[in-house]
């Protein structure tokens, strides 16, 4: 007899959501975590879009360990000395049931894992799953680095993070392409609450999410600045192969962002408390592995369920959504005593029926568009150039028309009209 009905590897948001659903279904589940506690090893920006929790943990916002509710969302296009920002504020986002929140992953992950424990999951920390156990082709458990070794189960759910070695061992992942990954780097900068409130024009537990394009030089990527209660999260995501090719270190590029005239006044006087880095699956739907095998499911970052679509930059909500679906499917398979690939297909049906695969499928071309030279280089320069020329008073010369300004900036940045139209059509098809 297996020791557990299900083993979940990784106590991040995906793993804890899976374990919670399995335990609630009355099945035995072991939640393995290689860190000393859930969230201990995570680097995260980070904004959590918690509406996916509405059914999993009703009224979650009353107890979840959030830093601030995001009530301002800004998108900034910048050059080395200019910046154009589209800024949106909504008081509705500062009221239940809320839209997004900044959070520290060690706090949030520990809280979500505690919910799984309360439901009956067995949380085992400081334990690494070192490989898969098999009966023929079917996965029947995992080996660990503990002296007592192996754990067996009807189903193993891989939530072991980006570049999942368990999913690779199971033969579910195609060969890795470095172009599908970015490196995320982040500094946590301490500032007093009242200073953050004044600089970002917020009050109470309201906060700001700023996403930035054009801040990474010749390396495709992007930046972010988020407000926590008494700190800021400032960071970059950088194309892995292009970062290696340029020969620069990520902290050098981050240092340049910190002295940019649009950023420096916001972080002035802050004390850097932490620097961290993390590999991010960037290509979304196009890099996803097979999600199901005999006795095994893959969810969260392990399944590349991270949406890097420019307008939408999300990960934790997809982890929770996919983890919950995996937990439900695993519990159903155990009940029916069929953990074969066919018996676990309910997982795919659930992902197809909710937002997880629908959004990834719809936006599968978005990562390529966001990493293109148009989005990374030409668009920020053109936008900043148009705004500077538009608001520069040219007396005694007459004011130029907007169309003339745009044409001049497009010519200056070597963007042909047909290329702009072509990329615009692709963007409409992707985001429309």
Does a structural domain hold residue 262? yes
Torsion sign over Cα 385, 387, 392, 396: positive
Answer whether residue 1 shows pLDDT above 60.
no
Six-digit token pair at 321?
């959504």
Asked if 189 contacts 263 with a C-beta cutoff of 8 angstroms, the reply is no
- Condensed to tens digits (0 to 9), the pLDDT of residues 24-44 reads 999 999 999 999 999 887 766
DSSP-based three-state secondary structure for 81: coil
Answer whether residue 4 shows pLDDT above 90.
yes
Based on the fold, state whether residues 117 and 34 are members of the same structural domain: yes
Asked if 231 contacts 102 with a C-beta cutoff of 8 angstroms, the reply is no
Q: How far apart are CA 216 and CA 327, in angstroms?
A: 39
Based on the fold, state whether residues 291 and 149 are members of the same structural domain: yes
Asked if 224 contacts 234 with a C-beta cutoff of 8 angstroms, the reply is yes
The residue out of 363, 386, 417 marking a domain boundary is 363
Answer whether residue 271 shows pLDDT above 90.
yes
Torsion sign over Cα 311, 285, 163, 293: positive
Does a structural domain hold residue 154? yes
Based on the fold, state whether residues 297 and 220 are members of the same structural domain: no
The residue out of 248, 281, 314 marking a domain boundary is 281
* Distance linking the first and last C-alpha atoms of the chain: 51
Based on the fold, state whether residues 59 and 158 are members of the same structural domain: yes
Based on the fold, state whether residues 194 and 141 are members of the same structural domain: no
Does a structural domain hold residue 129? yes
Based on the fold, state whether residues 352 and 416 are members of the same structural domain: no
Q: What is the pLDDT of residue 308?
A: 80
Does a structural domain hold residue 81? no
What mean pLDDT do residues 264-291 have?
Answer: 92
Based on the fold, state whether residues 9 and 150 are members of the same structural domain: yes
Based on the fold, state whether residues 133 and 207 are members of the same structural domain: no
Does a structural domain hold residue 328? yes
Answer whether residue 424 shows pLDDT above 90.
no
Based on the fold, state whether residues 264 and 398 are members of the same structural domain: no
Q: Which domain holds residue 332?
A: 4-65+104-174+287-363
Least confident of 46-55, 125-134, 202-211: 46-55
Question: Global pTM?
Answer: 0.94
Based on the fold, state whether residues 203 and 267 are members of the same structural domain: yes
Report the 10 Å Cβ neighbour count for 369.
18
Q: What is the DSSP string of 230-264?
A: SEEEEEEEEEHHHHHHHT--HHHHHHHHHTSTTTH
CA angle centred on 187, ends 185 and 192, rounded to 5°: 155
Q: How many domains does the chain contain in total?
A: 3
Q: What is the pLDDT of residue 148?
A: 84
Looking up tokens 């107890």 gives 63
CATH of the domain at 299: 3.50.50.60
Average pLDDT, the chain: 93
Q: How far apart are CA 320 and CA 154, in angstroms?
A: 22
Residue 17 has phi, psi (to 5 degrees) of: -65, -40
Q: What is the pLDDT of residue 44?
A: 61
Does a structural domain hold residue 96? no
């Amino acid at each position: 007899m297996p020791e557990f009905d299900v083993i979940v590897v990784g106590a991040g948001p995906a793993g804890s959501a899976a374990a919670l659903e399995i335990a609630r279904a009355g099945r035995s589940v072991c939640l393995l975590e290689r860190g000393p506690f859930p969230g201990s090893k995570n680097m995260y920006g980070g904004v959590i879009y918690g509406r996916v929790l509405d059914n999993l943990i009703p009224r979650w916002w009353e107890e979840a360990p959030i830093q601030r509710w995001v009530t301002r969302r800004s998108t900034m296009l910048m050059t080395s000395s200019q910046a154009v920002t589209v800024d949106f504020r909504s008081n509705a986002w500062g009221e239940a049931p809320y839209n997004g929140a900044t959070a520290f992953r060690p706090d949030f992950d520990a809280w979500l894992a505690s919910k799984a424990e309360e439901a009956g999951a067995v949380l085992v920390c400081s334990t690494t799953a070192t490989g898969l156990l098999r009966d023929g082709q079917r996965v029947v458990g995992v080996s660990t680095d503990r002296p007592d070794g192996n754990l067996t189960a009807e189903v193993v759910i891989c939530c072991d993070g980006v570049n999942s070695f368990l999913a690779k061992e199971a033969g579910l992942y195609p060969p890795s392409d470095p172009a599908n990954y970015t490196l995320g780097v982040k500094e946590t900068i301490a500032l007093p609450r009242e200073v953050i409130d004044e600089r970002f024009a917020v009050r109470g537990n309201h906060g700001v999410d700023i996403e930035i394009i054009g801040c990474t030089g010749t390396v495709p990527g992007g930046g972010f600045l988020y407000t926590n209660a008494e700190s800021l999260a400032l960071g970059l995501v950088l194309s892995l192969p292009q970062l290696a090719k340029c020969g620069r270190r990520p902290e050098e590029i981050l240092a340049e962002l910190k002295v940019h005239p649009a950023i420096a006044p916001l972080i002035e006087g802050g004390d850097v408390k932490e620097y961290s880095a993390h590999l991010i699956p960037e290509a979304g739907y196009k890099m996803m592995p097979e999600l199901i095998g005999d006795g095994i499911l893959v969810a969260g970052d392990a399944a590349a369920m991270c949406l890097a679509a420019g307008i939408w930059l999300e990960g934790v909500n997809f982890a929770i959504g996919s983890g919950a679906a995996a937990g439900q499917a695993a519990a159903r398979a155990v009940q029916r005593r069929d953990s074969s690939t066919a018996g676990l297909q309910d997982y795919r049906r659930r992902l197809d029926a909710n937002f997880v695969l629908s959004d990834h499928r719809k936006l599968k071309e978005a990562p390529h568009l966001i990493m293109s030279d148009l989005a990374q280089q030409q668009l920020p320069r053109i936008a900043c150039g148009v705004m500077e020329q538009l608001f520069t008073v040219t007396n005694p010369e007459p004011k130029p028309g907007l169309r003339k300004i745009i044409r001049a900036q497009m010519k200056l940045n070597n963007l042909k009209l047909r290329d702009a139209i072509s990329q615009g059509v692709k963007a409409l098809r992707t985001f429309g």
